[in-house]
Amino acid sequence: MVQDFPMNQDTITISRLLEENKALAAENAVLRETVERQATLAASNAVLREVVERQAAVIKTLEVRLAELERRLGLNSSNSSKPPSSDGLKKPPTGKDNNRRTRSLREESTRKSGGQQGHKGETLRQSAEPDVVVDHFPDQCSACGSPLAETGTMGYQARQVFDLPEPKPLEVTEHRAHGCRCGQCGHETRAPFPEEVRAPVQYGARINAIVVYLLHFQLLPEDRLAALMKDLFGVGMVPATIARVSHNCAARFQGVVDRICMLVKTATVKHLDETGFRVGGKTQWLHIASTVFLTFYRVAAKRGVSKNGLHGPNLLPRIWASSADTSLPPIQYFGTLTGFSA
């Protein structure tokens, strides 16, 4: 039989303290775990904050880029320096309330569209002197079927067809410069060829004129122009020959170009402008100087000017020039010129 001994006060206190210590240890473990979780969350929060800051910077950059792209999409010939040809099929509106720069200044007319009363038209009319006449006679009577003779005509009705003449082979003109021996001294003198006949074989003035007209006025590319000359006239020209014809024509008109240059140069008021275009696959610049009646063109490899001047002589008294955009440095420099180099 086990005998129970009564517990004194100290034993009870120690037991209670042990239980409280155990409870505090458990609570401390919980707190330590909480602190560790908070430290982990703090580290994660710092990482997330850094990610958010980077994303905010990226968003700001994208917003700026989006605004610029939207601005570009909204540009057209009416609110920027873009040419009307860049508008494509989406032309800007041209209503009364639209502030389009290229809107016509003419007021609305009450007249109907088309030719107006009293306007001299271009209607095709019969010629009093046709080049070819083709007579048509009936073979038999439409009533009884009896044969009819041409001598029995009682008049006619006329209809005319306007057409191009049938293409003919090239006309070849041979120039023969004869040499004649003098009966007095025996010296042989040969006649000179006409000035325009300079080669054993060459194309004539009419072909050259058609080539220059179609190339520079109708703006046909050289390859297509070569095909056209072959198809319509049987002239087998290559693009290099077409280019040579163009250069020869330009050389003959150099005196006219120099005269225009001088007149524009000495004018009191000039309009100055320039635009870029491609020549031989490379960017070139077309500079113009014009008056009310004359326009002088010059092609240059650079848009601006060199330190020594505008690629040519004739510097520099100041003149007043009406310019498309005088804020551009090349235009400002143009405004100081009284001469231009072709």
Predicted confidence pLDDT, tens digits, the chain (342 residues): 545 545 566 677 788 888 888 888 888 888 888 888 898 898 889 999 999 999 999 999 999 999 898 888 877 777 777 777 676 655 555 555 555 545 566 777 777 777 777 777 778 889 999 999 999 999 998 889 888 888 888 889 999 999 988 888 889 999 999 999 999 999 999 999 999 999 999 999 999 999 999 999 999 999 999 999 999 988 999 999 999 999 999 999 999 988 998 998 888 888 888 888 888 778 888 888 899 999 998 888 877 654 444 443 332 223 233 333 444 444 444 444 434 443
Parallel/antiparallel/unpaired status of strands 321-323 and 270-279: parallel
Q: Is residue 212 part of a domain?
A: yes
* Total count of domains within the chain: 2
User: Is residue 224 domain-shared with residue 280, that is, in the same domain?
Assistant: no
Domain end point (choices 190, 218, 252):
252
Q: 306: domain range?
A: 266-334
Other C-beta atoms closer than 10 Å to the C-beta of 215 total 19
Q: Is residue 14 part of a domain?
A: no
CA distances from 215 to 182, 280, 282, 286 (A): 49, 16, 21, 19
User: Is residue 328 domain-shared with residue 283, that is, in the same domain?
Assistant: yes
CA distance 317 to 302: 23
CA distance 340 to 303: 14
Q: Is residue 308 part of a domain?
A: yes
Q: Is the peptide bond before 316 cis (omega within 30 degrees of 0)?
A: yes
Q: Is residue 298 part of a domain?
A: yes
Cα dihedral across residues 41, 47, 53, 59: positive or negative: negative
**Rounded to two decimals, what is the model's pTM?**
0.54
Q: What residues are paired with 276 via a beta bridge?
A: 285
Query: CA dihedral defined by 74, 78, 81, 83, rounded to 10 degrees?
Result: 100
Two tokens, residue 174:
């041979």
